[in-house]
Amino acid sequence: MIRHWRLFVDSTFLYRFRRDKVAIASFSLLLLMVLLSFSSPLIAPFDPYDPAQIDIMDSDMPPAWQAEGEPRFPLGTDAQGRDMLSTILYGTRISITIGLFAVLLQSILGISLGLIAGYFGGRIDAFLMRLADIQLSFSTLMVAIIVLAIFQASFGTELYNELAIFMLILVIGIAEWPQYARTVRASVLAEKKKEYVDAVRVIGLGSGQIMFRHILPNTLSPILVISTVQVANAIMSEAALSFLGLGMPVNKPSLGSLINSGFEYILSGSWWITAFPALVLVLLVLVINLLGDWLRDVLNPKLYKD
């Protein structure tokens, strides 16, 4: 364990991280956002899920630094009288959770299918990659909007609202598997020809063990690079879906549904209901994208390209 730690501290990876101001800044900001949002039940001044703490008399209050604002609500309140700061903290937690789990699902599906396609080749490969092409051309957001819209219409809104978080993870998770599958397949094709694979095959290991224990660890750097971008994309897709009213419901809002509920009031001048969740969303996606760019430069994997 200590040996691994020393190896990590001395690595060029950490050296280059410490030299890059943008990477340090985005990583710290991301860490801060994750820590704050996941400790929201402890640090948030109010519990937005608890109707007893919401007073309709407090609704539509501007941020504390404006004339009509109150110090109780540093970022103001929304139309239902919920404290913006608390709802944003809770909302960020939901957005990040959905993003992470969706990407987890994508990577499990995509990595397995990519390994199979690359390792076995032939017809399985041709079929899976054709499927991936078609799936990619459909764009996640389009598939997600249609699937979720149909589910919402057939389940009814009540039931749908309870299942929303799982539906979002499932749909975003399943729709994006080709990204992983193509990247993994490309690396597997390169790794398969190397001697160590021949060696383990001579030892007599099964295909499954060769794929997952020996080839997979050597394809990790491209997986790491696309994972960052994928998390950012998943968070954006979730926000878009919630904005359309197909995602998280108003009583359990994610950043997207917060923006949606604020949008109705932007014409009457209540800019803060939209602006603060929007700012958090953009910052969150931006720092993840910047980290992804940095990782791509440092690890420089040969990503799959047409």
Q: Which of 152, 179, 227, 230 binds another protein (CB under 8 A)?
A: 152
Q: What angle do CA 292, 298, 300 make, to 5 degrees?
A: 90
DSSP-derived 3-state class of residue 83: strand
Query: Given the complex with another protein, which of 18 and 130 has the nearer CB atom?
Result: 130
220, 224, 244, 298: residue in contact with another protein (rule CB under 8 A): 244
Q: Which is nearer to another protein, 43 or 163 (CB)?
A: 163
User: Does residue number 159 form part of the binding site for another protein (CB under 8 A)?
Assistant: no
Of 212, 183, 228, 248, nearest to 49 by C-alpha is 248
Contacting residue, 232, 258, 280, 291, with another protein by CB under 8 A: 232
Contact yes or no for 238/168 (Cβ under 8 A): yes
Q: Which of 14, 25, 150, 159 binds another protein (CB under 8 A)?
A: 150
Q: Which residue reads 């937005």 in tokens?
A: 48
- Which bin fits 229, alpha (ψ -120 to 50), beta or left (φ > 0)? alpha
Smallest separation, CB 126 to another protein (Å)? 7
Q: Could you give the 3-state DSSP secondary structure of residue 106?
A: helix
Greatest CA separation for the chain: 77
**Contact assessment for residue 215 and residue 180, using Cβ atoms and an 8 Å cutoff:** no
**Residue from 52, 154, 202, 217 binding another protein (CB under 8 A):** 154
Per CB under 8 A, the segment of 12-20, 116-124, 188-196, 239-247 that binds another protein is 239-247
Smallest Cα–Cα separation from 146: which of 119, 131, 167? 167
149 binds another protein (CB under 8 A): yes
In the set 5, 42, 122, 137, which binds another protein (CB under 8 A)?
A: 137
Q: Give the position of tokens 């021949």.
A: 198
Q: Does 306 bind another protein (CB under 8 A)?
A: yes
Binding site for another protein (CB under 8 A): 126, 130, 134, 136-139, 141-142, 145-146, 149-150, 152-154, 232, 236, 239-240, 243-245, 259, 263, 266-267, 271, 274, 278, 281-282, 285-286, 289-290, 293, 305-306
